[in-house]
Amino acid sequence: MLPDYRVRQRDYLLEVMRAISSRLELSEVLKLILQYAVELLQGRAGIVALVEPGDSYQIRATFGVARSLPENLQPMLANAGSVREAASLLERNLVHLVQQAGMGQLEVVWLPLNVGAEVLGNLYILRVRGGEFTSDARMVLQSFANQAAIAVHNAQLYTQLEHEKRRLNQADEMKSTFISAVSHELKTPVAIIKGYAATLNNSAGNWNADTLREGLEIIEDEADRLTELIDNMLDASRAQGGGFKLSPVELDIDELVIKTVRKFQSQTTQHTLIADVRSDMPLVYADEARITQVLNNLISNAIKYSPLGGEIRVHGESTDTEVIITVIDHGPGIQPQDQPHVFERFFRSRNAISSGISGTGLGLYLTKVFVESHKGRIWLESDGKTGTTFGFSLPRA
């Protein structure tokens, strides 16, 4: 038979463990563990620090200490050479802090949180100097720490799983958006090419030279569109795989803007394109093909998404360190709730889809990847009613 106080102790410990193990949120688990540990040790305060991915050591929960404590100590822990070093730094500093704060004769008791051979972190409890622990008390603490470690481990696994689940759902959703966007985009030019080729090939048709040329031009344009679409898809998958190569040269950005604006002006009569750049813009050190794609994407969007026409201005300016290009249109703009998403892969606004404007949602994603790979920034401004301004910067050569 166990003595009475041992039964009470065991029951108490069981109750504590049930409470802790029933939680799955890591922050909640840690909070409970601290609360009980402080109670078990009749302490004043406590801290939990965990080993994080990449072997950093981080304060993850506190009880009864100044809220600024993690902020004050964390930078020091980040500089430690190893987790072991960080753990002993934390312990020493806690003793020091306690003395400074005049919290009386406190000592730091620490309990390792291990699961098997894996070190998850440590629990530090500040308590009134209380002499040695009995072997009994030590056992209770040990079993508390073991159970607590298991609960922490479970919560960490749960967090990981949730994260993975969210990622997979997202990937699934992306895949189906991708397939429907891309198959639609592929089908359209293929159908047009097929239609014109079949018509022109029709032996009954006695085509005059003009009709023939017109048909062939359309076939050529549509084939170009297909190539561009496939290139975009390849770029997107390369960007995701983490690499495409840049071949930077000293680039005259004003010339490139003028050339691109002229090219697009020849394709639309509804819009007035203006290249608002000075000829003495500083050079940038950049990949011409990629920056051409950036301009193409922004200007073609400005045209495509202002179907009623209007002015599209491409403005250039420079600072001491950067060249800044903005593309300003007077289309319907981008709704505030869509703005954070337009640079995401495959994102298309509801407005764009419901107005039947075709696209894959890859253009701005790639544009951002290209600009950022040059160490530039990209942004947008829109009131969601009267137009959109897209801007990007490139460091000066």
Ligand X SMILES: Nc1ncnc2c1ncn2[C@@H]1O[C@H](COP(=O)(O)OP(=O)(O)O)[C@@H](O)[C@H]1O
Least distance from ligand X to the Cβ atom of residue 265, Å: 17
Query: What CA dihedral angle connects 148, 154, 158 and 160, to 10 degrees?
Result: 100
- Number of Cα atoms under 13 Å in the Cβ half of residue 268: 23
| Residue 189 near ligand X by CB under 6 A | no
335 neighbors 383 (Cβ within 8 angstroms) = no
The total of other beta-carbon atoms located within 10 Å of residue 9's CB is 17
| Residue 363 near ligand X by CB under 6 A | yes
Stretch in the footprint of ligand X (CB under 6 A) among 2-10, 233-241, 268-276, 347-355:
347-355
With CB under 6 A as the contact rule, the residue among 349, 368, 374, 378 that binds ligand X is 349
| Residue 348 near ligand X by CB under 6 A | yes
| Residue 364 near ligand X by CB under 6 A | yes
Stretch in the footprint of Mg ion (CB under 5 A) among 23-31, 258-266, 301-309, 377-385:
301-309
Choose among ligand X, Mg ion, none what residue 291 binds, the Cβ cut-off being 5 to 8 Å by kind: none
Among residues 293 and 360, whose Cβ is nearest to ligand X? 360
378-382, strands of its sheet edge to edge:
271-276, 310-318, 322-329, 388-395, 378-382
DSSP letter string over 139-175? HHHHHHHHHHHHHHHHHHHHHHHHHHHHHHHHHHHHH
Contact characters 376-395, ligand X, x per CB under 6 A = ------------x-------
Q: Which residues of 142-175 are buried (b: 16+ CB within 10 A; e: fewer)?
A: eebbbbbbbbbbbbbeeeeeeeeeeeeeeeeeee
Least distance from Mg ion to the Cβ atom of residue 223, Å: 19
| Residue 301 near Mg ion by CB under 5 A | yes
Stretch in the footprint of Mg ion (CB under 5 A) among 51-59, 97-105, 192-200, 300-308:
300-308
Rounded to whole angstroms, how far apart are CA atoms 181 and 162? Answer: 28
With CB under 6 A as the contact rule, the residue among 342, 369, 371, 378 that binds ligand X is 342
| Residue 62 near Mg ion by CB under 5 A | no
Rounded to whole angstroms, how far apart are CA atoms 223 and 190? Answer: 8
Among residues 316 and 359, whose Cβ is nearest to ligand X? 359
| Residue 326 near ligand X by CB under 6 A | no
Rounded to whole angstroms, how far apart are CA atoms 155 and 29? Answer: 7
Beta bridge partners of 393: 324
With CB under 5 A as the contact rule, the residue among 189, 316, 333, 363 that binds Mg ion is 363
| Residue 305 near ligand X by CB under 6 A | yes
295 neighbors 323 (Cβ within 8 angstroms) = no
With CB under 6 A as the contact rule, the residue among 301, 318, 326, 393 that binds ligand X is 301
Residue, CB closest to ligand X: 359
SS3 (DSSP) at 2: coil
Q: Which residues bind ligand X (CB under 6 A)?
A: 297, 301-302, 305, 329, 331, 334, 342, 347-349, 352, 359-365, 388
Q: Which residues bind Mg ion (CB under 5 A)?
A: 301, 363
